[in-house]
A and B are shown apart, each in its own frame.
Chain A
Amino acid sequence: MFETLRQSLKTGIVTTAYPQAPAEISAHARGRPEIDWTRWHDARAASTACPTGAIAFADEAGVRTATLDLGKCIFCGLCADTDRAIRMTNHCELAARSAAELRTTGRYRLGDDGTHHRLLAGPTAFRDDAASLETLGRQLQSRAQAAFGRSLHIRAVDAGSCNGCEVEIHALNSPVYDLERFGIHFVASPRHADLLLVTGPVTRNMELALRNTYDATPEPRLVVAVGACGCSGGIFGRNYATCGAVDAVIPVDVYLPGCPPNPWALLQGILLAIGRRNGDQQPAQSR
């Protein structure tokens, strides 16, 4: 007993200073891929290598539209292996208030041999209606901050994940990330929750349970879609057994990419959802 206490005291505090200090992401970690859009000459190899369709293109009337969708990306790095214009970074704090914000698009003049050369437009974050989205984002932020600024109760719902996301969510409760220091707690029932942290892809067998859980959560409520599978359907996508992304079943307020998102990314996404942190990516500190 006393020995246990003595050793605990000796260990001291292991909790990270995040978000006051940058996330301590290892230089070896694989985060989002970065495309050198001006030097990119052929989207075909990377899009063929990509297992989830995160890098895709469409050719029409001599114009190629190439897209990188971080909501689908599993950070595998296969694109970077095949294409020198793409490199893997260790940036992982990628949460966004809409799925569209996670997509970057470039338009190119298509060459005869299937390569593309001149960047016509972009790269821009793809926004259908940038102004209204931004307003929506601000509204959400002020609403969330007013309602949950000082305290937030989270109900985690696994609607079909591989358990990878759950392992990382669990880590938030460990002394290293210690979510409770923000006044944020995991609760046992959706009836006690302000925010649903939903992992996916939503399976057909969980569709009803997820809808019921959402309905049981009192207003105002927030939904965060976690991981590539939650954001877009990810690795298994849509098939006879799954409905795909979380927003195919219930409305989503924040999209949190990653496969799985590490605890830093989860912290950023949750804090973004309640307006305690903006969505700008801060470069991670290498360790």
Chain B
Amino acid sequence: MNATQEFALLANATSLPWADVPEFSAAELVPATADKLARGGRLCAWFGVPADPVRRDSAAGIRLVAIVAFDTDNTLAAARSTPVTGSYPALTALQPQAHLFEREVWEQHGLTPVGHPWLKPVRRMAGNAPAMGEFFRVNGREVHEVAVGPVHAGVIEPGHFRFQCAGEEVLHLEIALGYQHRGAEHAIQGGPHRASMAQMETVAGDTTIAHATAYASVLEALAGTEPPLRAQWLRAIALELERLANHSGDLGALANDVAFLPTASACGKIRGDFLNLTALLCGSRFGRRLVRPGGCGYDLEAARIEQLRQRLGPALAELENAALWLWDAASVRARFENTGTVTTRQAADIGLVGPAARACGLVRDVRYDHPAGWHRFAQSPIAVWPGGDVLARARVRWLECQRSGQFLQEQLANPPEGEIRAPVTAAAPETLAVALVEGWRGEVCHVALTDAGGRFWRYKIVDPSFHNWTGMTLALRGMAISDFPLCNKSFNLSYCGFDL
């Protein structure tokens, strides 16, 4: 416990005995973490662990845990605090990317981060009515407030948006979520339980493969099991199919929001084609039951590999056509360009991840920076497009579709031989495991800590949306309120992944 102590380093999808995670006082952990973030680190997770593993309440104090990613060094760093009761100095005051994490710690454990500029609940505001809570207000005779949601006009998840406007212009947007809170972290505590795998697959149902892979990787790291290479290969294929389905759906949705119907219609079909390719892998359009602890639930025999390759080509060709229509249309460019801009500096400060970050020129991608599983052997270049506007976010998606398509063609041509499942032994007791997976929205982070019996003492899930919703609010500043649907679609963040 001294200020010069270093964080413990670990690689993605590995584990570390809890005793080897260096312990700081909270007053030291906060500046030490801020220092790491200032020197190129990125906050993957910041959460509380009840010091008493049996009672799991805050009576014996709460330990804070920091997981930081050093993308350029391809390594992760972990540290923890001694048990804290009551309050501690806010990390947010030094590093804004911690702001939601600290609100969450406050909500879950009652620890007050002193100096947090906007301390309010994350998911359980105002009893069970998040929209009834306090919101930031802009005062002035010309200023008016617009409240939208939780039930929206489209087929979309629920959330509440509170705009402060002067005429058409949005001065400030605050988002209240929590409507999809299903108790996912709570449900898995003391597990793994019988339903845990299915629950992890539906943390965000459109990101089944990424969340399931992160969960399986955590279990494998805790047990010291390496899944067979062929299973890792299958997971990598499914991950890119998931990306292709969602990115093509997003390109269509963006086109629809600017009333460019040819691409909107075409992408509606193409997204289904990619979902059907995932179904060809495992019987489910969402990849349910493909990823299992220790490997995969289904193999892909030669005939189906061939079928997959034959169907992939036309789908990619159709997507290319639909995307080219989009870039060719002046009406689309006029609506995409300079709409909803997030600067590179803002993106770095708030810790954006995934395509939203790469569209601000930030070069970060877990598949490349923290390779685990099959990505240790096969990587795609990181698709970056500077600009930070809707156009950039659309362009990054299209670049990633191209890369994913190429990756799939290459991988399907060279399948590794072998088993698809290895037995997973019992989880090591009192051990911390971290798994990052680059889902289609960005970094999916799962952190598990086991108790003396090898059960989950604490399980932390960070969906990419947790990092990125703040980016959406910044994108809206100074925009016309009528651009909100377009900006929202360009991020297409998960509500349930955030709400857990």
Contacts and interface: CB of A to CB of B under 8 A. Distances in A.
Contact of A203 (B156, B182, B262, B279): B182
Interface residues of A, number: 65
A235 B158 contact: no
B87 interface: no
Contact of B286 (A49, A52, A213, A260): A260
Interface in B19-44: none
A75 to B, nearest CB: 7
A205 B130 contact: yes
Interface in A169-228: 169-171, 173-176, 186, 188-190, 201, 203-209, 213
B379 interface: no
A259 B288 contact: yes
Contact of B269 (A29, A77, A88, A175): A175
Contacts of A30: 283-284, 289
Contacts of A52: 195, 198
B284 A163 contact: no
Chain B residues touching A, range: 35 or more
A206 to B, nearest CB: 5
Main SS of the interface on chain B? loop
Interface in B219-273: 249, 262, 265-266, 268-269, 271-272
B140 interface: no
Contact of B288 (A74, A158, A166, A213): A74
A157 B123 CA distance: 19
Which of B202, B203, B494 has most chain A Cβ within 10 Å?
A: B202
A8 interface: yes
Contacts of A48: 194
A37 B22 CA distance: 58
A171 B154 CA distance: 13
A113 to B, nearest CB: 24
Contact of A205 (B129, B194, B205): B129
Contact of A164 (B153, B156, B202, B249): B202
B289 A236 contact: no
Given A163-B205, A236-B183, A239-B186, A14 B289 contact: no
Which of B129, B157, B184 has most chain A Cβ within 10 Å?
A: B157
B128 interface: yes
Interface string B175-202: 0001111111011000000110111001
Which of A48, A76, A165 has most chain B Cβ within 10 Å?
A: A76
Contacts of A174: 265, 268-269, 271-272
A58 to B, nearest CB: 18
Contacts of A176: 268-269, 272
A167 B271 CA distance: 10
Contacts of A205: 123-124, 128-130, 178-181, 499
A122 interface: no
Interface in A53-103: 74-78, 88
Nearest to B256: A173
Interface in B475-500: 494-496, 499
A45 interface: no
Given A14-B269, A29-B283, A239-B183, 13 more contacts: A1-B329, A7-B321, A30-B284, A51-B195, A51-B198, A76-B289, A158-B157, A162-B206, A167-B206, A190-B151, A205-B124, A205-B128, A205-B499
Interface of B: 123-124, 128-130, 150-151, 153-158, 178-184, 186-187, 194-195, 197-199, 202-206, 208, 249, 262, 265-266, 268-269, 271-272, 275-276, 279-280, 283-286, 288-289, 321, 325, 328-329, 494-496, 499
Interface of A: 1, 3-4, 7-8, 11, 14, 26, 28-30, 48-52, 74-78, 88, 156-171, 173-176, 186, 188-190, 201, 203-209, 213, 235-236, 239-242, 259-260, 262-263
15 contacts: A88-B283, A158-B157, A158-B158, A160-B180, A162-B496, A163-B157, A163-B494, A167-B249, A169-B155, A170-B268, A205-B179, A206-B158, A208-B129, A235-B199, A236-B187
